[in-house]
């Protein structure tokens, strides 16, 4: 996270778009404010072992730190988003009780987070476990303050998002080309690809405000820069279709030029 300031200050800001900065501690919050952040994000995991591996503290201590960041951020009139990791499973402790997740979600919401993102950090969730989780969380946190964050390790991310949509959730975290992962969750794949989510939402008639073609090209570009194939199935398929259209258009233009010369 050493280049956070450079990234935030270099981005060409667009109207009506939020640019939240992840702030793991008070020092990170101060740095975010100095860089001009107007929204920050804080996080905690749902299990003690994950929190110990990730931030070297227990869940209770992690929540306490998060509240300290939250209090200071709110004093400075910043919007604060809360993230909960390992809500459907932990790489160290296995299954996670939805009651525990609901308790933590309510605690962060009551403390002042405007939204709580429920993260399936290792991607083990299914539509069934997502439904059970939401049954508990939505009893204590308003639906408009709940988002989902699904990794695609087992190929279940879109199914989990669809289930969340059926419950009325309308905020979904994703990453271009499926980038991401977690160094403290061995084997976990990246977050669900934005291209795949937008393709699905378009097919369901949702208005996302996202230009899918531009998104696919961005995913192709970043994948090339990183020297790795895209993790987006929709992105890969749409790029093949685009290249084919371009080839046909080029061939047609050449044929037209040849005919003109004759």
- 86 catalytically annotated: no
What is d(CA 203, CA 206) in angstroms, rounded to the nearest whole number? 8
Q: Which residues pair with 192 in a beta bridge?
A: none
Of the candidates 119, 127, 126, the residue with the CA atom closest to the CA atom of residue 146:
119
What is d(CA 237, CA 245) in angstroms, rounded to the nearest whole number? 12
Asked whether the beta carbons of 37 and 21 are under 8 A apart, the reply is: yes
Which three-class secondary structure string do you get for the chain? CCCHHHHHHHCCCCCCCCCCEECCCHHHHHHHHHCCCCEEEEEEECCHHHHHHHHCCCHHHHHHHHHHHHHHHHHCCCEEEEEEECCCCECCCECCCHHHHHHHHHHHHHHCCCEEEEEECCCCCCHHHHHHHHHHHCCCCCHHHEEEEEECCCCCHHHHHHHHHHHCCCCEECEHHHCCCCCCCCCCCCECEHHHHHHHHHHHCCCCCCCHHHHHHHHHHHHHHHCCCCCCHHHHHHHHHHHHHHHHHHHHHHHHHHHHHC
Catalytic residues, by residue number, are: 182
């Amino acid at each position: 996270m050493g280049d956070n300031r450079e990234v935030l200050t270099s981005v060409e800001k667009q109207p009506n778009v939020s640019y939240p900065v992840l702030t793991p501690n008070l020092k990170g919050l101060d740095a975010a404010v100095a860089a001009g952040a107007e929204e920050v994000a804080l996080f905690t995991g749902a299990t003690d072992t994950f929190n110990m591996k990730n931030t070297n503290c227990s869940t209770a201590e992690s929540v306490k730190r998060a509240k300290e960041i939250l209090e200071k951020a709110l004093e400075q009139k910043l919007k604060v988003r809360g993230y909960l990791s390992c809500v459907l499973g932990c790489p160290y402790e296995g299954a996670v009780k939805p009651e525990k997740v609901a308790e933590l979600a309510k605690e962060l919401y009551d403390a002042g987070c405007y939204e709580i993102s429920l993260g399936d950090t290792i991607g083990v969730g299914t539509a069934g476990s997502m439904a059970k989780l939401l049954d508990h969380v939505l009893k204590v946190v308003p639906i408009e303050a709940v988002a989902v964050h699904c990794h695609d390790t087992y190929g279940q991310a879109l199914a989990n998002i669809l289930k969340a949509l059926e419950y009325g959730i309308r905020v979904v975290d994703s990453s271009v080309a499926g980038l991401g992962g977690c160094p403290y969750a061995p084997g976990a794949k990246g977050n669900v690809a934005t291209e795949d989510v937008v393709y699905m939402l378009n097919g369901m008639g949702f208005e996302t405000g996202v230009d899918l073609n531009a998104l696919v090209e961005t995913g192709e570009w970043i994948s090339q820069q990183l020297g790795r194939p895209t993790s987006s199935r929709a992105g890969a398929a749409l790029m093949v279709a685009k290249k084919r259209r371009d080839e046909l258009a080029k061939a047609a233009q050449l044929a037209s030029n040849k005919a003109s010369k004759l």
